[in-house]
């Protein structure tokens, strides 16, 4: 989640520079910057999830029934049930 903090800092620096310089930045450039920030955040989250899935495939931590990764950031397999299909993998 470090990338979320970096983006927030970048936004605060952008707004802070606007106030320090006392320059009025056109609304279109602010919206363009926020749009680019949101798109970059979404891509970073997507790449993080893809990396987790690739690691599961490399380690063989896959469900034998649905062939999906058994690891999810919000639901680690504690009860031997696949978080995707719900079948018992033990």
DSSP 71: -
Segment 3-28 mean pLDDT: 66
Q: What is the pLDDT of residue 1?
A: 44
Asked if the model's pLDDT at residue 9 lies above 90, the reply is: no
Give the integer Cα–Cα distance in Å for 16 and 10.
10
Q: How many residues does the chain have?
A: 90
Which element (helix H / strand E) includes 63? Answer: none
Residue 76 has pLDDT above 70, yes or no: no
């Amino acid at each position: 989640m470090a990338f979320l903090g970096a983006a927030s800092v970048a936004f605060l620096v952008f707004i802070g520079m606007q106030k320090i310089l006392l320059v009025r930045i056109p609304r279109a450039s602010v919206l363009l910057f926020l749009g680019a920030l949101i798109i970059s955040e979404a891509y970073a989250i997507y790449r993080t999830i893809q990396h987790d899935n690739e690691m599961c495939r490399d380690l063989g931590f896959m469900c034998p029934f649905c062939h999906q990764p058994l690891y999810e950031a919000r639901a680690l397999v504690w009860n031997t049930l696949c978080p995707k299909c719900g079948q018992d993998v033990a």
